Structure 1
Amino acid sequence: MKKLLLTLLIAAGLSAHAAEPFVKGADVGWLPQMEATGYQFYNKQGQQQEALRILKDYGINTIRLRTWVHPSDDKASGHNSKDETVAMALRAQQLGMRVMLNFHYSDSWADPQQQRKPAAWVGHDFAQLKRDVYDYTLDVMRAMEKAGVKLEWVQVGNETRTGMIYPEGHTDNWPQLAQLINQGYDAIKAVSPSSKVVLHLDRGQDNQWFRTWFDNAKANGAKYDVIGLSYYPYWLDGRPDYKQSIDALAANMNDMAARYGKEVMVVEVGGEDSQPQNTYDMLMAVQQKVRAVPNGKGLGVIYWEPQGARSWSHYELSAWGADGRATKAMEAFLDFK
């Protein structure tokens, strides 16, 4: 029976991975802090309920979490310690959700504007820095394993357009950046060989930048399994409507899958909470474009902090209203089949 199913899949031009559920995800790194400050979530019926259960009822099947090395307890820029992240991953898994872990390799936010190395690693020479990356990654992975968490995907770095762990891991020095990436990759695979390693850039519609970056990654022997993209029309120049960039996103994903033979996933997306219908439409379009990547190489879409209500976070791209409930935007995960 198994052989027959595989034969049918191959005959249909699909990879074996295409049989896996399409990722409908939520990054909820703020959730432990929100709960600690007493924020209350409400379901469609207006009843108070735990946020992960509400998200699951909206079709979310994957949770993405970030981990910081030695974070503070600051409400906006703290938490996400190893222990807190392991506990949240376990909660998600117990609800039947898959889990993606995102290593920022910093004590706080890492993105194109900031890739600060952890304070405990400052002053280390490059050989020691490589050991730092390997040992820290291995420690967190082992903690996940000990808790019984199976990680489907693990990111090495977050939005690493200009590298990570500055200055040594800047794209100005690709040979060193590739070595740091590979330390993370090797530590992940040492604990969980089945976990897929993701490298992640912002501006998912920018094909030239993605080609330049991943050409360099290939030339320098960086190891990975999946190309992750962020897509935020809101942050593009002039804040244009998604319709002006969605085709460029699709073309870039198709090119990445063909050029490098890798799977692709939109690991971060978001739209204005004040425009829920437009965000709904955007999410439907993004899911359609990812699903359409040839040969089943489009894995899915993850919303960044949909539950991170502006009343708590001051972040304008959540999918949560001032009433503590999900907006219309979240229905896109239910409606996309």
Structure 2
Amino acid sequence: MKGKSFCSLIMATVMILGVLNGCGSNDENAVNEAGASEQETTLVTDSAEASENSSEETIEIETKESEVETWKTAIDGLPDDFIFGMDASSLLVEEKSGVKYYDFEGNEQDPLKTFADSGINYIRLRVWNDPYDENGNGYGGGNNDLPTAIELGKRATEYGMRVMIDFHYSDFWADPKRQHAPKAWEGMSVEEKSSALYDFTKDSLTQLLDAGVDVGMIQIGNEINYGMSGETKLENVIELLKSGSKAIREVSEDYEKDIDIVVHYTRITAKGDVLTLVEKLVNAELDFDMIGMSYYPFWDGGMDNMSRVLELIQERYGKKAFLAETSYCYTTEDGDGSGNSLTEKDLVDGYPASPEGQATILHDICQYVTNVGGIGIFYWEGAWIPVGPASADNSAIWEQYGSGWASSYASDYDPEDAAVYYGGCSWDNQAFFDFEGRPLESINVFNYMKNGAE
């Protein structure tokens, strides 16, 4: 997933486009509306059940009347091992950019500790193969190379949280709109690319485990509905997935460590298409354990449909299912001058742009996931906050440290998107910290979902 941004020279123009291209999943939203027509014929040629395909149906979003702090109640039937996950991939470049985070008493504190104290038990970290240009300038969006994942993973492990690694198998953002092969893999045949992916996966996981990172789950690809690593034919994608899976199983056995293998999809409203993809993975005898789905309630329809997809994946194919990405805003204000992906017009009825609204919708999402036996959720980028005030020109910081969704250095690698919208972050109003790094009350929802307010 990824987003949009701005530089000082094109600020006025991109402010208008900012809503369409956020540092989160706005590109995914565009593809949900139009991207399927580009590649859907190569990866989704039939439906597991035509009546289950919601892509041509109007998805009603459930409305919820205001209730008094329902988000502070324990979730009925919540299993003890339910995953409360947080993607914190941008954290290191945020800190390098001068961002500071605090505890509820106003003391500076590692946000990973704040997450752990709030009840989060898993940290998700994306990994790009080589997110730098030929001169070593970072592409931005966290500059998420393997060393970054190792450093953040070690910190998460120290606070007692497990880690899910999200291999994009690309040098930059991979999602429904783009699945660029890493620069080093360009021009390779599928067989050569498969071998390179195996080597990269095995070497990366070995380094993570040797560093002491408690890896419990690994995504082999990110939102791969329409391709992966430059491949769009499903048979080629499956060949790549098998190489990644094989590498993970071998390293897991060598280290005597159980690591679950995850395949990640989006466009959850296209129910039949998603089920068809999972069915084809199973029929191809891909060795994997779980399906992770992206679900953004302001883009992806109602919770009934979301939970039904998770339920059917488990019932039909015997695979565990969870939400690999979700989020919501606590304000509609802009924190860094680059505009927000989620604005007033995107709010879900019954869930205001407030810490209480943010906590309530997450509580309800987790209740729906629990009701159908889903194993957990991961919140996307809950610590990606402004590097400077909205009134400041933050472009130099974004460029130097990679703390915006993309830097200008990514333009050659991603000319259709990063070259146009590089700059800051549009996700800051969906974090669990305010624009100055103070934790919001809503972050306590994770503990409340387990134990209620005590």
TM-score computed with the length of structure 1 as normaliser:
0.86
Verify the 8 A CA contact 1:174 1:217 in the aligned structure 2: no
- 1:54 paired with 2:123, answer no
| Whole-angstrom CA distance in 1 between matches of 2:379 and 2:139 | 20
* Deviation for aligned residue 1:310: 4.6
2:431 matched residue in structure 1: 318
- 1:43 paired with 2:103, answer yes
| Whole-angstrom CA distance in 1 between matches of 2:139 and 2:196 | 27
Alignment of 1:216-235 (within 5 A): 216-235=280-299
Task: Write the letter of the residue equivalent to 2:317.
Answer: Y
- 1:246 paired with 2:303, answer yes
Q: Deviations over 1:100-129 (max 9, x none)?
A: 001000111111111101001101122211
**1:140–1:333 Cα change, 3 Å:** same
Q: Deviations over 1:215-243 (max 9, x none)?
A: 2222333221001011112234xxxxxxx
Q: Deviations over 1:259-295 (max 9, x none)?
A: 111111111111123113222111101111222224x
| Whole-angstrom CA distance in 1 between matches of 2:361 and 2:116 | 20
* Deviation for aligned residue 1:146: 1.3
Task: Write the letter of the residue equivalent to 1:31.
Answer: L
Q: Deviations over 1:283-320 (max 9, x none)?
A: 101111222224xxx21111111111256633243232
| Whole-angstrom CA distance in 1 between matches of 2:140 and 2:213 | 26
1:267 matched residue in structure 2: 324
Ranked by relative contact order (alpha carbons within 8 Å, sequence separation 6 or more), the top structure is: 2
- 1:29 paired with 2:97, answer no
SS in structure 2 at match of 1:131: helix
| Whole-angstrom CA distance in 1 between matches of 2:269 and 2:114 | 31
| Whole-angstrom CA distance in 1 between matches of 2:303 and 2:444 | 20
| Whole-angstrom CA distance in 2 between matches of 1:50 and 1:311 | 16
Alignment of 1:232-311 (within 5 A): 232-236=296-300, 245-274=302-331, 275=353, 276-294=355-373, 298-310=374-386
**1:45–1:209 Cα change, 3 Å:** farther
Verify the 8 A CA contact 2:89 2:142 in the aligned structure 1: no
1:118 matched residue in structure 2: 182
| 1:87 pairs with one of 130, 136, 151 | 151
Verify the 8 A CA contact 2:296 2:327 in the aligned structure 1: yes
**1:331–1:203 Cα change, 3 Å:** farther
* Deviation for aligned residue 1:69: 0.4
Q: Which has the higher strand share?
A: 1
- 1:71 paired with 2:128, answer no
| Whole-angstrom CA distance in 1 between matches of 2:387 and 2:362 | 23
* Deviation for aligned residue 1:20: 5.6
| Whole-angstrom CA distance in 2 between matches of 1:279 and 1:259 | 33
* Deviation for aligned residue 1:200: 0.7
TM-score computed with the length of structure 2 as normaliser:
0.64
4+ residue runs over 6 A deviation? none
Identity of aligned residues (%): 31
| Whole-angstrom CA distance in 1 between matches of 2:140 and 2:208 | 24
1:161 matched residue in structure 2: 225
Alignment of 1:175-214 (within 5 A): 175-193=235-253, 194-214=258-278
- Structure 1 stretch displaced more, 208-217 or 56-65: 208-217
Equivalenced residue count is: 306
Verify the 8 A CA contact 1:206 1:252 in the aligned structure 2: no
Larger Rg: 2
Verify the 8 A CA contact 1:26 1:62 in the aligned structure 2: yes
Task: Write the letter of the residue equivalent to 2:437.
Answer: G
Task: Write the letter of the residue equivalent to 2:284.
Answer: N
Computed over aligned residues only, the root mean square deviation of the Cα atoms, in angstroms, reads 1.8
